[in-house]
A and B are shown apart, each in its own frame.
Chain A
Amino acid sequence: MKETLFLTKILLKNSLNKNANKDKLTFKAIAAKLLMFVAIAYIGGVVAFLSKELIEVLKAANQPEVFISLCLLSTIIIAFIQSILSSLNVLYFSKDIEFLLPLPINSLKIVLAKFNVMLVSEYIVELLTFAIPFLVYGITFQVSIIFYIMSILVFLFLPIIPILLGTILTVILMRFTSFVKNKDLVQYITVFLTFAMIIAIQIYSINTTELTDFMIANKLIQINGLTDIFADYFIILKHGINAITEIENRLALSNILYLIGESITAYLFVSILLSTTYINSATNIVSGNSKKTKTDFRKIKRNSTRKAYIDKEFKILFRNPVFFLNTVLPVLIIPIVLTIPFVSEFFSKGESSSSQAIISAIGENIENTVGFAICICIINFLYMFNYISVTSISREGESVAFIKYIPLELYKQCRYKAIPAFILNFIPLFFIVIGMNLLFSKISISFTLEVFVIGLLCNLFISYAEVLIDILKPKIHWTSEYAVVKQNMNMLWSTIFVLIVSIIILGICSFFENVHVVTLLISAILILTTIFYDNFVKLYSTNIFKKIC
């Protein structure tokens, strides 16, 4: 037991990849923490507001406990899906496997420790997702302390069995299929499936956008009917719901005891079961999936240094699933996800719908500086999801020294590193420009061109300047690629940077009434700033790259 807990602690610490200089309270660190706090407080506020609205709707329908049922059902579903995704990484693809396998620790302890890591991750998700809604519920109905104690116990034990089921599914998959040896392919497939699911849920949820409070309540109660059916087969859900909603009588105590008993039994039983097959599958993964194929020397040809460098950047971006899924995919997916509601509205409701009227009203009044500013801000907003430039140095990791000993000027490498982000940003740019013309048919060619030109110049400047953000504070000492994309403050700085650029553009637009003048002025500013920035990098490259060694 002691060994398992110790191993859990080590694995958790390793997965957090904490910064060694955490005690240094610099201005930047304080500012970053403050920003993070503001962002969390804002999201918390939104969640609290939405929860309150939902509770009030259900209260009016005299079914407030439906809120609890739905939260618990969501917990089970989230835990199950998350466990499928994370168990692959935690059990099979994490770097620690190679260090753990030779140690004299029996496989049961490794499985238990790894399972605990997944459980702790789930607790963090639960805390972030359900702590505020439950607090709002508790305050609204002025419940006793027992409600909170029961809720904590339920949230501690409820995700155990869904995680076990998700893990079993993964282990079976790893045991009996061969393609899973290819870590990259598995990661691509699982994340694409998740995105497909998100888009499907979004398409489904579109139909609920114009519902009245009464209809929402009915819909929620209908979903709650599903919860009842689900609870018949998944007994822990019923025990969880009863443990919280029946605190007035003894049912709550017996149900929480059932839940705890079932979860612990399943935890031990499944862990023992998995430990027998886990080591075999893990050893298989470690052995790799290399295939020897003959090299085609005819394909070797000379390229310009620029092409060779940019090709190399693209290959690393697209072949590394962690980098691809976290830096490239959002640029491709976000415009689609955000557009689905509009497209659905546009095609499903017919000419007479209110949204059609709004669309045509906007279309007739968009060709002014306010409309122009909004178009540019939407384009910039989509650029925010492009994390290619802002991680371009960090992605190199310990081998970053390479960029300093090759005979290629640092400022040129800086330019080349910006190009992949610049090219991929054409997707949101075209998306908005084409979408704008499809949606508002009366838009003029000159306005479209002006939006395109400023969008293009913003793209150039943002993609290029974000490389500098990463050069100044690169995250190069990492053991897992996830650290580059999940624990990198530069991504926050890049968001702030794009926000500032957008605010400046908004400010300029608010001073003028003529779109042509605004276009000329913003173009001049962006071109001059980009030239100034390029010269600055060229002149001070040695100092700028000082932190990279």
Chain B
Amino acid sequence: MIEIKNVSKSYIKNEKIIDNLNLEIKDGEIFGFLGPNGAGKTTTIKMITGILKIDEGDIFIDGQSITENPVNAKLNFGFVPDSPDMFLKLKGIEYLNFIADIYKIDSKIRKDRIERLSKEFEIYDNLNEQIQNYSHGMRQKLLIIGVLLHEPKNWILDEPLTGLDPKSAYDLKEKMKAHSRKGNTVFFSTHVLEVAEKLCDRIGIINKGKLLFVGTYEEMKKQFKDSNSLEDIFLKVTEE
């Protein structure tokens, strides 16, 4: 479970980029975080994951505060950033082994998981290459495997489907569904409205640092009866 309580953030004094954000992503839920460019999606994700310091309020991951107990909180989630260009000089297998060491995964378990996941995501044959030789999509897959390795209860993904081929995107969506069915949480940001519509249990729309809507797709349709599609609703909400 991810709880965001009264969170605010400013980069410049008196200009809040996130303004008193309150949000609860329950266990067993896939939550889609939507908003136009610069709305505050990535800033929110950066605060949830401990990358950015929170100015006011707090965030809890399975009850662990990201400000008070950062290491415990971080053990409870896996994060896929929006840019997969990292550790380019490492080989894919070295990156995964490094991540497994950071999360203290047993040798036998890590071998099995790396083999299984890399086959599922079809990068098994590329694991011995340096990441700099991977395509954008392959790098994205590698990061996702890195997250899945330690089987965290909470998945936090920043634009996870960007750059993935249709099969990998489908596989990832299926994995997200399976993960939530086991009573776990998936929190992800996206620009693809159809994905949010078909995949998410609940949707949150943020603009200019304020949460404008939180609820299921059905609730949203009821609230915006005049609109025909999610695209219409999104435009209406964010233009207001």
**Whose C-beta in chain B lies nearest to the C-beta of A407?**
B74
**Whose C-beta in chain A lies nearest to the C-beta of B106?**
A302
**Whose C-beta in chain A lies nearest to the C-beta of B92?**
A295
Chain A nearest CB: distance from B194 CB in Å? 29
A172 within 8 A of B: no
A316–B81 CA distance with the chains assembled, in angstroms: 20
A402–B85 CA distance with the chains assembled, in angstroms: 11
- Residues of chain B within 8 A (CB-CB) of A315 are 89-90, 94
**Whose C-beta in chain A lies nearest to the C-beta of B127?**
A295
Interfacial residues of chain A within 254-309, with CB under 8 A of chain B in the complex? 288-297, 300-305, 307-309
Chain B nearest CB: distance from A286 CB in Å? 12
Chain B nearest CB: distance from A541 CB in Å? 9
- Residues of chain A within 8 A (CB-CB) of B67 are 542
**Whose C-beta in chain B lies nearest to the C-beta of A315?**
B90
Q: Are B83 and A399 in contact (CB under 8 A)?
A: yes
B7 within 8 A of A: no
A46 within 8 A of B: no
Q: Are B51 and A300 in contact (CB under 8 A)?
A: no
- Residues of chain A within 8 A (CB-CB) of B90 are 312, 315-316, 319
Number of A-B contacts (CB under 8 A): 106
**Whose C-beta in chain B lies nearest to the C-beta of A542?**
B53
A445 within 8 A of B: no
Known: A312-B90, A406-B74, A549-B46. A293 touches B128 (CB 8 A): yes
- Residues of chain B within 8 A (CB-CB) of A294 are 125, 128
Partner of B128 from the list A288, A292, A302 (CB cut-off 8 Å) is: A292
Chain B nearest CB: distance from A317 CB in Å? 9
The stretch of B97-105, B166-174, B203-211, B220-228 that contacts the partner chain: B97-105
Chain B nearest CB: distance from A397 CB in Å? 8
Partner of A290 from the list B49, B86, B103, B129 (CB cut-off 8 Å) is: B129
Q: Are A401 and B115 in contact (CB under 8 A)?
A: no
A319–B111 CA distance with the chains assembled, in angstroms: 25
A176 within 8 A of B: no
**Whose C-beta in chain B lies nearest to the C-beta of A288?**
B133
Q: Are A305 and B110 in contact (CB under 8 A)?
A: no
Binary interface encoding of chain A residues 405-435 relative to chain B, with 1 for a CB under 8 A from any of its CBs, else 0: 1111100000000000000000000000000
- Residues of chain B within 8 A (CB-CB) of A300 are 93, 97, 100, 107, 110-111, 114
- Residues of chain B within 8 A (CB-CB) of A546 are 53
- Residues of chain A within 8 A (CB-CB) of B74 are 405-407
B71 within 8 A of A: yes
Q: Are B98 and A312 in contact (CB under 8 A)?
A: yes
A200–B213 CA distance with the chains assembled, in angstroms: 72
- Residues of chain A within 8 A (CB-CB) of B103 are 407
A95 within 8 A of B: no
A288–B101 CA distance with the chains assembled, in angstroms: 30
Chain B contributes a number of interface residues (CB within 8 A of A) equal to 44
Chain A nearest CB: distance from B144 CB in Å? 15
**Whose C-beta in chain A lies nearest to the C-beta of B115?**
A297
B178 within 8 A of A: no
A9 within 8 A of B: no
**Whose C-beta in chain A lies nearest to the C-beta of B101?**
A308
Q: Which of A304, A406, A408 has the most CB of B within 10 A?
A: A406
- Residues of chain B within 8 A (CB-CB) of A480 are none
B126 within 8 A of A: yes
**Whose C-beta in chain A lies nearest to the C-beta of B52?**
A549
- Residues of chain B within 8 A (CB-CB) of A402 are 81, 86
A293–B81 CA distance with the chains assembled, in angstroms: 28
Q: Which of B49, B50, B85 has the most CB of A within 10 A?
A: B50
**Whose C-beta in chain A lies nearest to the C-beta of B45?**
A405
Partner of A401 from the list B51, B70, B125 (CB cut-off 8 Å) is: B51
Chain A nearest CB: distance from B198 CB in Å? 28
Known: A292-B125, A404-B50. A308 touches B102 (CB 8 A): yes
Q: Are A399 and B114 in contact (CB under 8 A)?
A: no
A339 within 8 A of B: no
Known: A295-B127, A407-B75. A549 touches B51 (CB 8 A): yes
Can you give 21 A-B contacts (C-beta < 8 A)?
A291-B129, A292-B125, A292-B126, A292-B128, A292-B129, A293-B129, A295-B93, A295-B124, A303-B97, A308-B97, A308-B102, A312-B98, A399-B81, A399-B85, A401-B51, A402-B81, A406-B74, A406-B102, A407-B75, A546-B53, A549-B52
A interface list, Cβ under 8 A from B: 288-297, 300-305, 307-309, 311-312, 315-316, 319-320, 398-399, 401-402, 404-409, 542, 546, 549
B interface list, Cβ under 8 A from A: 46, 49-53, 67, 70-72, 74-75, 79, 81, 83, 85-87, 89-90, 93-94, 97-98, 100-107, 110-111, 114-115, 124-130, 133
Q: A316-B87, A401-B81 are in contact. List 14 more A-B contacts (CB 8 A).
A: A289-B133, A295-B127, A297-B111, A300-B93, A320-B89, A398-B83, A399-B86, A405-B49, A405-B79, A407-B70, A407-B74, A408-B71, A408-B102, A549-B51
